[in-house]
Structure 1
Amino acid sequence: ATNKMQVAVRAYENMERRWLSEQAGILALHLHDGESCPVCGSTNHPQKATEQSNAIDEKELNNLRDK
Structure 2
Amino acid sequence: MAFYKIKFSVDGIVFNEYEGYMKGIKGAKTSASGAVQGNENITIEIFDVAGRLLVKKEKGKWIEE
With the shorter chain as reference, the TM-score category is: under 0.3
Higher relative contact order (CA 8 A, sep 6+): 1
Greater fraction of residues in strand = 2
What TM-score, normalized by structure 1, do the two folds share?
0.21
- Structure ranking higher in helix proportion: 1
